[in-house]
Amino acid sequence: MTILVKKSSFLQIISIILALSFTITAKTARKSTDHDFSYFESPFESPSKHAFKSRNHSSSNLEQKKSLVPIFGTECRVWSRECSEEILRIAKKPENVKWIKSVRRKIHENPELAFEEHETSEVIRKELDELEISYRFPLAKTGIRAMVGTGKPPFVAIRADMDALPIQEAVEWEHKSKNAGKMHACGHDAHVAMLVGAARILKARENHLKIKCSTVVENPISERQGPLSGQFGTVILLFQPAEEAGNGAKRMIKEGALEDVEAIFAMHISHLLPTAVIGSRSGPLLAGCGFFKVVIMGLDGNPHHSGDPILAASAAVISLQGIVSRESNPLDSQVVSVTFLNSGEDDLDVKPKRVEFGGTLRAFSNTSFHLLLKRIEEVIIAQAKVYKCSATVDFFKNSDTIYPPMINDDRMYRHVRNSAVDLVGPTNFRVVQPLMGAEDFSFYSEVIPAAFFYIGIKNETLGSVHSPHSPRFMIDENALPVGAAAHAAIAERYLNEREINISIDGLRRE
């Protein structure tokens, strides 16, 4: 929807439309300048990239303006409480509940690790085929980009991750993992099922995936004159590989997952929230995460001259503890943790030539995260020097092990909250605390406004109380239909409430 206008007649027509839009929405238009000018009051301010910008809206032709009669179309979709109810009703139809559980169980039985999600991907594509939903495949090896709606902007995306963990399932049940040493212990099987479930709901409501048309003008460019409304709006469903390892998100983005997309949402199961309770928060939600590995060497081979790498490493480990405890703001949670130390030798009477150690760091803001990276390196190198040693610090920057913090965009968070409250009721929505975990969804959030939210799977009767990555992890499947409905409501409502500035591109495609 980026717009390049070729002067002349187009420009004239555009200015007519702009002037017209401005006139009929004057009451709600925000204060504007000549150069940046948005026409409609909206819960979403148009992302500037997509917003139509006028260089000169004073050049409109009043006569022509009058000849174009605005029509407030009856086809306009306006989000209402009934939409939530209808979405939930579809999600909870017994046949749909049975189906969504069966999809989840099929994937649970056959867990596949990062970038090996071939059969999982095939299960998804088969379901999409049956729903007559088109998709692009493969992205990032096993990933899928499916599409429901008009195929025209605005595009809103929902993402699910597909990979399992190298863990042996310890839960004895009918649909236990059939792959030894592999398990869906992070609920990504449920994430896939809920997104496929959302695809079914959205497909059934495809004619609702339209922007709300506060302004309907006759189309002055098209041969057939007609209202412009109802021609916009697409939901992109992203099935992503390799969240747990390998950074599938980054590769999905590289391969075009976010093409045209202006906002993105994702959901994760939570064992801290009761079944089907939805939770999220504005701002920092999950930590930025990185790892480091250090090699400390005595300066030369001569044991009488060189430093002692054991002493240097010990001093460095102790000093690292001071970064978080003494340098950082106590209200801005951070972690630096050394998790291994190894001199590689067990001689009792000589000091070793080299010592290795390493660990992990976490922080909730980009600034704190990058400051930690810097200070960890400085402290280790300086301490090595004190003890006549040299040190190298590797943050694996090239092997995709650094995740930025997940910071929810405030507008997108509010959209999730409003959608969830309408869907499950105010008592079933919780504002949650940030967690030290990390998620590669944060890579999407660096590109476009994003919100990440949770759906509860905790049920004490059932025993689904274990944390993700535990071999005893399990979920209450009754959360699945609600999760599917939440995805669908968030996407549909986003489009319904996203009033659009009439674009040249939209007109051209008419």
60 sits near ligand NAG (criterion: CB under 6 A): no
The enclosing H or E element of 240 equals: strand 234-240
Rounded to an integer, what distance in angstroms lies between the CA atom of residue 500 and that of residue 39? 9
459 sits near ligand NAG (criterion: CB under 6 A): yes
Residue number, 239 or 403, with CB nearest to ligand NAG: 403
Rounded to an integer, what distance in angstroms lies between the CA atom of residue 23 and that of residue 354? 75
219 sits near ligand NAG (criterion: CB under 6 A): no
Rounded to an integer, what distance in angstroms lies between the CA atom of residue 137 and that of residue 125? 9
Q: Which two tokens stand for residue 199?
A: 């695809």
Q: Which two tokens stand for residue 501?
A: 């500035």
Cis amide linkage into residue 154, ω under 30° from 0: yes
Q: Which of 86, 260, 446, 505 binds ligand NAG (CB under 6 A)?
A: 446
Residue number, 345 or 410, with CB nearest to ligand NAG: 410
The span of 109-117, 160-168, 256-264, 458-466 binding ligand NAG (CB under 6 A) equals: 458-466
Helix (H), strand (E) counts: the chain: 13, 14
283 sits near ligand NAG (criterion: CB under 6 A): no
The span of 232-240, 335-343, 434-442, 459-467 binding ligand NAG (CB under 6 A) equals: 459-467
Rounded to an integer, what distance in angstroms lies between the CA atom of residue 165 and that of residue 172? 17
Smallest distance, Å, CB 165 to Zn ion?
7
Smallest distance, Å, CB 425 to ligand NAG?
14
Smallest distance, Å, CB 229 to ligand NAG?
29
402 sits near Zn ion (criterion: CB under 5 A): no
Rounded to an integer, what distance in angstroms lies between the CA atom of residue 119 and that of residue 371? 42
384 sits near Zn ion (criterion: CB under 5 A): no
Tokens 């699945």 sit on residue: 480
By CB under 6 A, what part of segment 121-160 binds ligand NAG? none
By CB under 6 A, what part of segment 30-59 binds ligand NAG? 56, 58-59
Report helix angle 188-204 to 118-130, nearest 10.
Answer: 20
With CB cut-offs between 5 and 8 Å by kind, which of Zn ion, ligand NAG, none does residue 370 bind?
A: ligand NAG
Distant-in-sequence, close-in-space partners of 287: CB < 8 Å, separation ≥ 6 = 333, 335, 362, 363, 364, 405, 406, 434, 435, 436, 437, 438
Q: Which of 100, 167, 186, 500 binds Zn ion (CB under 5 A)?
A: 186
Under DSSP, is residue 422 helix (H, G, I), strand (E, B) or coil?
helix
With CB cut-offs between 5 and 8 Å by kind, which of Zn ion, ligand NAG, none does residue 186 bind?
A: Zn ion
| 438 neighbors 421 (Cβ within 8 angstroms) | no
By CB under 6 A, what part of segment 472-491 binds ligand NAG? 476, 478
Distance set, CA 396 to CA 43, 373, 410, 416, 442 (Å): 41, 11, 31, 34, 18
Residue number, 12 or 314, with CB nearest to ligand NAG: 12
Rounded to an integer, what distance in angstroms lies between the CA atom of residue 181 and that of residue 32? 60
With CB cut-offs between 5 and 8 Å by kind, which of ligand NAG, Zn ion, none does residue 446 bind?
A: ligand NAG
Angle at 375 between CA 373 and CA 328, to 5 degrees: 95
Smallest distance, Å, CB 465 to ligand NAG?
11
| 106 neighbors 217 (Cβ within 8 angstroms) | no
Rounded to an integer, what distance in angstroms lies between the CA atom of residue 310 and that of residue 352? 7
Under DSSP, is residue 236 helix (H, G, I), strand (E, B) or coil?
strand
With CB cut-offs between 5 and 8 Å by kind, which of Zn ion, ligand NAG, none does residue 179 bind?
A: none
Smallest distance, Å, CB 162 to ligand NAG?
26
462 sits near ligand NAG (criterion: CB under 6 A): yes
The span of 186-194, 224-232, 347-355, 480-488 binding Zn ion (CB under 5 A) equals: 186-194
With CB cut-offs between 5 and 8 Å by kind, which of Zn ion, ligand NAG, none does residue 366 bind?
A: ligand NAG
Under the rule (CB under 5 A), what is the footprint of Zn ion? Answer: 186
Under the rule (CB under 6 A), what is the footprint of ligand NAG? Answer: 56, 58-59, 274-275, 366, 370, 446, 459, 461-462, 476, 478
